Structure 1
Amino acid sequence: MQNRVKENYTISGSFVFFLIGVSQTPGIVLNFQSLALRDAGQDAWISIILMGLSLHFIIWMIYKMLGYPAKDVIDVHRTIFGNFIGNTVSLLLVGYYFILALFVFRNYIEIIQVWVFPTLKTWVVGGVLICIIYYAVSGGFRILTGYSFFGVLAPTVLIFALYFPIRQGNLNNLLPVFNHSFLDLLKASKSSSFIFFGIETLLIYFPFLKLPEKNVKWAHFALLFTTFKHTSVIIVTLMYFSQGLLKHSLWPTLGMTKIIELSFIERFEYLFIFMWLTVIIPAICIPIWCCTRIMKRVAKLKPRLSLPFLLAILFIAALMFNERIKIDAFEKFLIEMGFYFIFVYIPFLFIIYVIRAKIGLKRK
């Protein structure tokens, strides 16, 4: 049966700009520059553009597959695989979205511990964040959309902080341009692809968008906007750092903010980190909400029961990643899983759905 969402729970289709924008922003504070540099060197910024452009086809597929009338990926699974297998596949997505949330959650805790409070225990920071996440997700999807608005606005203001490293940067670090093969650029795109993860949450909240077929442009605008932000950050990073130093820098973006000194604040990176919480919270909450939504639709488990359970697992899982080597391994696993989910599974699902739809029309 197709999923129906009550009118008072839906949002304007244009708000997908903020939902996608906030989901793809947290990666700016991570080490995506270093990962892209390994394969593409000073041409790493080109690989970011290639990744951003390729995702426009994925957005097109999602809107074509889920539109007319609006439905979510759970309905698609049931249509293609039948109710039992379709529900089983949908439940597997709970694990995927949970891992997305865990990745952002654990990395932000590590940033707090390394940059601000080195002696603070993981369970303390995690406990505070869990309380905030519970409050946000329990408010419902419309509340998360409101948080997403501020999650896009805050980093847009902070992006002007790039002016300071640009002043000390060297444009020659970007030369020579196009000095790497197309295969190297594709490898770099894959290595840094996690900064674009989050777009796949659209598969779940799609029915909550009003007139999505008339507002698809806002999804493309959001992708263009995040591609511009990521490209700007990596270009400034390449100008500021030498390639040798950048390879050994864990958080290059935060490293650049350390040089900013204003008359009213000396440690600007502290302000940057805590303002980034406005990005981190919705970026974690949206995948967690997707988990509760799937469990409600498939297992008939209400969010007030599934949410505390999921957050308890999130808290415990974060404590298990207590070493940098474990976090690195987790990051590599996520990159592989997310890349194939977006660029293999979604196109596969789209093709099968289109073929099945055409067969159904012929039978009529």
Structure 2
Amino acid sequence: MKNSIQIGPTDTINAFLLFFIIHTAQIGIGIQGFQRIIYQDAKHDAWISVLLAGLATHIIAIFMLKTLEIYGSNDLYGIHQDVFGKWIGNLLNIIYIFYCSGAFFSVLRNYIEVVQTWVFPDLNTWFLAASLLLIVIYTFTGGLRVIVGVSFFSFVLSIWLFPMLAYPMKYMELRSLLPILEADMSGILKGVKSMTFTIVGFEILYVIYPFVKDKKNAKKHIHLGLLMTTLIYLAIMLVTLTYFSGEQLTKTIWATLSLFSIVKFPFIERFEYIAVCFWMLIILPNLCLFLWAAFRGTRRLVKVSTNKFVWVFSFIIFIVSLMLKTRPQINSFNNYFGQVAFYIVFVYPIILYVLAVAKRKFKSRKEQIE
């Protein structure tokens, strides 16, 4: 196949690891405060929006897999070049590289803001940005298998955080969920779209799929990863809706972290401090996977070494991180990125699949004629 990736046996990964890759790519910074945004659109039916958004990820993943199965050992960047030709394909590759870079920056800058707001208000942005980037650089230079290993251990070492949200359940008011479907369908669908910023990340499948060793088992683990993510988001949304009043929720920026503040232990007074600091382990796979995806695309355009790319990329991100200083600026970027991500993640895969199938049929007919 034209533009196929040459992958050595030491670069491949087992299919079961896709569960951890997909799940950790989705669980990042958005989960800390997505409830308020969805509630503004769907009110107490926001949990339905979360459920529908989760269902949408499964549907889009099917289109992604169908497209990738056509090309076998090719990633999104190679598919672009094959379907659209060199020039348009490379233009689309550049757009996708910028998208991955924007996702990386969004996770990094939002986490810095959370740390400054909840734990270290006097800590400079440049120090936090530099510290996080150095950790990412160290992980990234280890290669894909190290990044996948980080995703695995991120899941294993952080999954205990979410059962802690059972503490607020004793204050739940289940009547807050009634009546069901009170919001109109347009509001619920707006809530689904608003989930984009929170639930994206599974599009990393486009880049990592060629590196999977036993591809026939990939589908099961991908959908299990998506299901795990959906169940966590749904559970958190239900706890939030039954704990906060509507007025409280509209004023609570980081509702998940506020729920963690209820957790009390005899030896830990402020559990949310532990959660915020531990969250670095949760966002690390986000950062590494998006960085790796951007690197794979850049390598399609120019010959650049791993070390040179990661240092130049990190320097640019570091400078841009210092430019966004206020909450309104960060919110504006998040809103803009969410709008772009909706079309790239939820609309474009369907279009690409249709074009890929059409291109394959056109080629087969042409070969029959010849």
The residue that corresponds to 1:63 in the other structure is: 65
User: What is the rounded CA distance, in whole Å, between the counterparts of 1:223 and 1:214 in structure 2?
Assistant: 15
Select 1:238's aligned residue among 241, 252, 275.
241
Q: Provide the secondary structure at the position in 2 that maps to 1:215.
A: helix
1:186 and 1:10 map into 2 onto residues whose CA distance is 39
* 2:31–2:233 CA contact under 8 A, matched in 1: no
Q: Distance in 1 between matches of 2:226 and 2:326?
A: 33
Cα deviation for residue 357 of structure 1 reads: 0.6
Q: Where does structure 1 lack aligned partners over 5 or more consecutive residues?
A: none
- Partner amino acid for 1:280? I
Any conservation in 2 of the 1:63–1:213 contact (CA below 8 Å)? no
- Structure 2: stretches of 5+ with no match in the other structure: none
Q: Deviations over 1:105-156 (max 9, x none)?
A: 0010001101101111100111110110100111111101011012222342
Shift of 1:24: 0.8
Q: Which runs of 4+ in 1 moved over 3 A?
A: none
TM-score for both structures, normalised by structure 1: 0.97
Match of 2:41 among 39, 42, 55: 39
For residues 229 and 49 of structure 1, the distance between their equivalents in structure 2, rounded to whole angstroms, comes to 11
Is residue 315 of structure 1 aligned with residue 286 of structure 2?
A: no
Q: TM-score, normalised by structure 2?
A: 0.96
Q: Corresponding residue for 1:113?
A: 116
Correspondences of 1:246-261 after superposition (within 5 Å): 246-261=249-264
Between the aligned partners of 1:294 and 1:93, the Cα distance in structure 2 is: 8
Q: Would you say the 8 A contact 2:260–2:271 is kept in 1?
A: yes
Post-superposition offset of 1:362: 2.0
CA RMSD of aligned residues (A): 1.2
153-162 or 3-12, which deviates more: 153-162
Contact 1:204 1:290 (C-alpha < 8 Å) held by counterparts: yes
- CA deviation profile, 1:275-311 (whole Å, cap 9, x unmatched): 1111111111110111111111221222211110111
The answer on whether the counterparts of 2:53 and 2:192 sit within 8 Å (CA) in structure 1 is: yes
Cα distance, 1:28 vs structure 2: 5.2
**What corresponds to 1:300 in structure 2?**
303
Shift of 1:360: 1.4
Deviates more, 1:206-215 or 1:277-286: 206-215
- Indicate the residue corresponding to 1:51 in structure 2: 53
**1:15 maps to which residue?**
17
Structure 2 matches for 1:49-128, cutoff 5 A? Answer: 49-68=51-70, 69-128=72-131
1:36 offset after TM fit, Å?
0.5
Say which of 197, 201, 213 aligns to 1:210. Answer: 213
| Alpha-carbon displacement from aligned partner over 1:213-248 (angstroms, at most 9, x marks no partner) | 332110001001100000000100111100101001
| CA contact 2:30–2:197 (8 Å) conserved in 1 | no
How many residue pairs get matched? 364
